[in-house]
Chains A and B, each alone.
Chain A
Amino acid sequence: SQTIHQWPATLVQPVGSPLSLECTVEGTSNPNLYWYRQAAGRGLQLLFYSVGIGQISSEVPQNLSASRPQDRQFILSSKKLLLSDSGFYLCAWSVGGNTGELFFGEGSRLTVL
């Protein structure tokens, strides 16, 4: 069966510090991968999605970046965090193709102070 792992689960970072969140999927090949952010009391905001290794599409231009170095690995990064980057970050995968059935990781809660 397919599983998705995301880490770290919780982190508190000072403004201006770097960020790296990692996500891996097991039990499937060539998944679509997604990074979402959910601010407190807000909806899901799509940040990046990827349909293959090295293929990244950005939905929201900001100080975040994403990379997909391997088929089932998706990394979200920032060189310098802003206060507004605080939120609940969610990695998700779907079967390759045009479905909307997303399967989410456990999430990473980021607080920028």
Chain B
Amino acid sequence: QKEVEQNSGPLSVPEGAIASLNCTYSDRGSQSFFWYRQYSGKSPELIMSIYSNGDKEDGRFTAQLNKASQYVSLLIRDSQPSDSATYLCAVNGGGSYIPTFGRGTSLIVHP
């Protein structure tokens, strides 16, 4: 059974701070890792993809992958109230059409 674990939160950070969201996964054969953002009442939106160990930066977002420790994280710098949402981690193994989703972490950025 492939599992993706996330702390449900809520994670509350002040505006301008760094928000750190974490995700662990059980399948050592996983090759692709994704972060989705889901605003309340809306559909998930892909915001980051990472495929190799290390950091990947895109604007205020940085995805970090450590395959040896089987975790992936998302850092949001200079957090804004508009970043308040649920962040879903998804992991895909080689040869699979089906990513496994975590249940998401709720992030609240307060002014």
Chain A residues within CB distance 8 Å of chain B? 32, 42-44, 46, 49, 51, 59, 90, 94, 98-107
For this complex, 6 residue pairs linking A to B, each with C-beta atoms less than 8 Å apart, are A43-B101, A49-B98, A90-B44, A104-B43, A104-B45, A106-B43
- Other than the given A90-B43, A106-B43, 15 more pairs (CB < 8 A) read A32-B97, A49-B98, A51-B97, A90-B44, A98-B92, A99-B92, A100-B33, A100-B34, A100-B90, A101-B32, A101-B34, A102-B36, A102-B99, A106-B42, A107-B42
Chain B residues within CB distance 8 Å of chain A? 32-34, 36, 42-46, 49, 88, 90-92, 94-99, 101-104
Query: Shortest Cβ distance from B72 into chain A, in angstroms?
Result: 12
Query: Shortest Cβ distance from A24 into chain B, in angstroms?
Result: 15
Q: Are B88 and A44 within 8 A (Cβ)?
A: yes
Q: Chain A residues near B98: list those with CB within 8 A.
A: 46, 49, 59
Q: Are A100 and B91 within 8 A (Cβ)?
A: yes
Q: Are A101 and B46 within 8 A (Cβ)?
A: yes
Q: Are A44 and B95 within 8 A (Cβ)?
A: no
Query: Shortest Cβ distance from B86 into chain A, in angstroms?
Result: 10
